[in-house]
């Protein structure tokens, strides 16, 4: 058994519905930009052509708008029509030293799919320390667990530096990396050898993000009672996929909610009950997203 937290979009009183598009200064669309309401933990993504639709948002809500390689903006809903993002002017750390030999490798942060009982959605980042840097300095591959009700759900992959305070910093990949997830409860491997990224001195973050776009929606049948008391079926949109978590005594996972945040230990009501037998191992521990990293020499 496992536990899934679903974002179910029940009908709400519509305060505002806005169509818009995210572009760069030249008018080129920015695919899959993130839009997050301020002080909320659920956002959505622009489509591949940069277009988006805001539904059911209050007139005083502000949105963080962000994308790889561009400065984040915080905008009131009245300015969400055509959004122009400015390039991020940063100096990337030197991430390549010499040429990878790739004769030996080591995996860190391993997980077992069979032991995962908890899935949820969102954009997540996991910290990997540089303990193995000396003998295995190059990032070769990442693997993560995801569960999807549809085939080919799209996920955003990022490799991120670490700020002095331990939070996620700037992107180390030169492009927005989008991968597709197979239907079911699967582990996905992503090869990153072509980027020749070297593990920074203070470690790095691996981020996986659910794209809240139309093609990632699964229409789940939900049974309910009509006003006459009869049973009826309504299909509700659920964004896919959901990512697996394992219990941990270390808080190495960050959650993107317009800004990066860490969460407290997970608490279960009545952890000793029979109904919570399989979830008991998560009680009073941190939820660590199931990502592993393979390094090579």
The answer to whether the beta carbons of residues 274 and 280 sit under 8 Å apart is no
Cα gap 25→72, rounded to integer Å: 14
How much is the average pLDDT of 103-123? 87
Predicted confidence (pLDDT) at residue 120 exceeds the cutoff of 50: yes
**Confidence class of residue 12 from pLDDT cuts 50, 70 and 90?**
very low
Of 98, 104, 93, 96, nearest to 136 (Cα)? 104
Regarding whether 110 and 71 lie in a shared domain, the answer is no
Regarding whether 117 and 69 lie in a shared domain, the answer is no
Regarding whether 119 and 174 lie in a shared domain, the answer is yes
What is the number of structural domains in the chain?
A: 2
Look up residue 219 and give its DSSP letter. E
Regarding whether 262 and 179 lie in a shared domain, the answer is yes
What pLDDT digit, counting tens, does each position of 73-84 carry?
999 988 988 999
Note whether residue 229 is domain-resident: no
Predicted confidence (pLDDT) at residue 10 exceeds the cutoff of 60: no
What pLDDT digit, counting tens, does each position of 276-294 carry?
888 999 999 999 999 999 9
Q: Which of 84, 113, 145 is the last residue of a domain?
A: 84
What pLDDT digit, counting tens, does each position of 195-241 carry?
889 889 899 999 999 999 999 999 999 888 878 888 888 899 999 99
Q: How confident is the prediction for the chain on average, in pLDDT? A: 86
Tell me the residue range of the domain where 140 lies: 105-214+241-296
Predicted confidence (pLDDT) at residue 24 exceeds the cutoff of 80: yes
Regarding whether 24 and 138 lie in a shared domain, the answer is no
Question: Three-state SS for 65?
Answer: strand
Regarding whether 46 and 124 lie in a shared domain, the answer is no
- Residue whose tokens read 């990224």: 197
């Amino acid at each position: 058994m496992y536990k899934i937290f679903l974002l179910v979009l029940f009908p709400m009183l519509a305060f505002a519905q806005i169509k818009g598009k995210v572009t760069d200064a030249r008018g080129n669309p920015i695919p899959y930009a993130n839009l997050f309401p301020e002080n909320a933990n659920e956002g959505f993504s622009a489509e591949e052509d940069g277009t988006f639709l805001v539904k059911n948002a209050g007139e005083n809500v502000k949105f963080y708008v962000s994308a790889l390689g561009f400065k984040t903006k915080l905008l009131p809903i009245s300015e969400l029509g055509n959004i122009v993002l400015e390039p991020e002017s940063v100096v990337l750390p030197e991430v390549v030293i010499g040429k990878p030999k790739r004769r030996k490798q080591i995996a860190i942060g391993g997980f077992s799919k069979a032991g995962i009982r908890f899935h949820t959605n969102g954009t997540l980042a996991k910290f990997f320390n540089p303990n193995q840097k000396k003998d295995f300095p190059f990032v070769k591959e990442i693997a993560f667990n995801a569960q999807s009700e549809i085939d080919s759900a799209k996920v955003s992959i990022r490799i991120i530096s670490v700020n002095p305070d331990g939070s996620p910093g700037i992107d180390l990949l030169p492009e927005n990396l989008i991968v597709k997830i197979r239907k079911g409860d699967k582990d996905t491997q992503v090869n990153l050898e072509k980027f020749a990224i070297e593990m920074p001195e203070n470690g790095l973050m691996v981020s996986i993000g659910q794209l809240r776009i139309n093609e990632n929606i699964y229409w789940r049948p939900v049974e309910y009672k009509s006003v006459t008391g009869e049973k009826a079926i309504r299909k509700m949109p659920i964004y896919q996929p959901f990512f697996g978590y394992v219990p941990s005594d270390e808080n190495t996972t960050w959650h993107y909610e317009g800004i990066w945040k860490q969460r407290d230990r997970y608490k279960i009501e009545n952890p000793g009950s029979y109904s919570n037998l399989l979830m008991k191992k998560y009680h009073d521990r941190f939820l660590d997203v199931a990502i592993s990293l393979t390094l090579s020499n």
